[in-house]
């Protein structure tokens, strides 16, 4: 097939890509189907990821990272999704390295950065972020979890839902209301160790797809945290979240693009091998035209995703562009999953086939990180402001 050229690939990135593929070959792919069946990824995988240098790569070497650019984080997401093991990269590595670590790096005091980032880089600590609540999904300004000031700190009460890494996490960034009357301007962020008294892990949630990825409910019952747990300025949480969301959405876009490419690859292999009515499935005009349409859409989309990666690496990615990338790639991922599964026929519906897992996994992409509808709202506001 025609190669999907990457405008930002360098020789250093090619060498790094080889190490990522090797890690997946040795530590992920031989076990992935079993993890999916058991709906659980072992905790020690995080330590192996850290030992392989695949966590927090674009964090300064002073804090345990590799001190490289965003392109290296993008490449990790790209390869994991392209290889069909995106559940490890998306809600796992993406949240830990791409979101939590950068909140701490950009907002944390020196003591917080020095304490937590090196442990995150080695996998000793797993990070999570608590935004979504049962009554407040993408509408972050209406969260109910409260942090009330008390002597020496804050008492936190409330709950979070759909939290990636919720069972494994050792630290979590919590979005809490510190001024209930101030709306979005009354939200603060707290960096909390999960062995704190009053932190309660709920159940690991059963999902349609991404089964081995750890998604959980969390509860906070008179959980006391010291003043030093505040991450960034008091009541500055909502602005901070808006500043960090473009990175999250760009990483999701990278993963969705790579998933599209990976699904097309395995479908091309299948239709050239599978026969029906005396000839290869690939020899039917409908198959050829479907594949041509999908390949064209994916190829055109890649140019925009590559542009977004470079903009983020240069610190120039705006919220609307990130939202466009997230919207388009995740919507196309759903289309590609459906069309490719159809070409597999009945076998595509069997969970032993990768395309069936890809189909189920793709559905979450249009929801987390901000739904497609929220992406459209962000984009339209920028257009007509």
Query: Catalytic positions, please?
Result: 248
Whole-angstrom distance, CA of residue 241 vs CA of residue 255: 21
Helix or strand run (H / E) with residue 335: helix 319-344
Sign of torsion, CA 278 283 289 293?
positive
Largest CA distance in the chain: 79
* 3: exposed, middle or buried (Cβ count in 10 Å: 0-12, 13-18, 19+): exposed
CA distances 212 to 169, 206, 370, 374, Å, are 15, 10, 22, 27
> Could you give the angle at the alpha carbon of 125 between the alpha carbons of 221 and 102, nearest 5°?
90
Q: The tokens of 203 are what?
A: 């159940």
Q: The tokens of 333 are what?
A: 């991922």
SS3 204: strand
Helix or strand run (H / E) with residue 46: helix 44-51
Q: What residues contact residue 15 under an 8 Å CB cut-off, 6+ apart?
A: none
Strand partners, 150: 153
Mind giving me the DSSP string for 62-118? Answer: GGTS----HHHHHHHHHHHHHTT-HHHIIIIIIIIIIIIHHHHHHH--HHHHHHHHH
Q: The tokens of 89 are what?
A: 């990269």
């Amino acid at each position: 097939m025609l190669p999907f050229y990457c405008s930002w690939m360098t020789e250093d990135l090619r060498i790094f890509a080889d190490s990522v593929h090797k890690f997946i070959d040795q530590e992920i792919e031989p076990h992935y189907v079993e993890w999916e069946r058991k709906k659980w990824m072992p905790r020690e995988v995080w330590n192996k990821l850290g030992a392989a240098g695949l966590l927090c790569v674009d964090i300064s070497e002073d804090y345990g990272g590799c001190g490289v650019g965003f392109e290296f984080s993008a490449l990790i997401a790209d390869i994991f999704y392209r290889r069909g093991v995106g559940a490890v990269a998306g809600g796992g590595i993406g949240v830990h390295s791409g979101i939590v670590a950068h909140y701490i790096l950009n907002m944390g005091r020196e003591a917080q950065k020095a304490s937590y980032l090196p442990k995150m880089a080695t996998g000793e600590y797993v990070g999570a972020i608590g935004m979504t609540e049962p009554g407040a999904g993408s509408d972050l300004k209406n969260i109910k979890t409260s942090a009330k000031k008390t002597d020496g700190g804050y008492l936190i009460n409330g709950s979070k839902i759909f939290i990636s890494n919720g069972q494994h996490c050792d630290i979590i960034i919590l979005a809490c209301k510190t001024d209930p009357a101030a709306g979005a301007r009354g939200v603060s962020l707290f960096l909390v160790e999960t062995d704190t008294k009053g932190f309660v892990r709920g159940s690991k949630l059963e999902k349609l797809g991404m089964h081995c990825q750890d998604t959980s409910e969390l509860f906070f019952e008179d959980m006391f945290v010291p003043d030093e747990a505040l991450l960034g300025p008091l009541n500055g949480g909502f602005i901070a979240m808006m500043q960090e969301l473009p990175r999250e959405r760009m990483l999701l876009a990278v993963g969705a693009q790579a998933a599209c490419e990976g699904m097309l690859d395995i479908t091309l292999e299948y239709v050239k091998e599978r026969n029906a009515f005396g000839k290869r499935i690939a020899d039917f005009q409908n198959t050829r035209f479907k594949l041509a349409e999908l390949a064209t859409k994916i190829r055109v989309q890649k140019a925009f995703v590559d542009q977004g990666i470079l903009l983020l690496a240069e610190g120039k990615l705006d919220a609307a562009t990130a939202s466009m990338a997230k919207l388009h790639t995740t919507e196309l991922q759903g289309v590609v999953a459906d069309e490719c599964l159809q070409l597999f026929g009945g076998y595509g519906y069997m969970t032993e086939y990768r395309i069936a897992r890809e189909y189920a996994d793709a559905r979450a992409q249009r929801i987390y990180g901000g739904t497609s509808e929220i992406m459209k709202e962000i984009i339209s506001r920028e257009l007509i402001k």
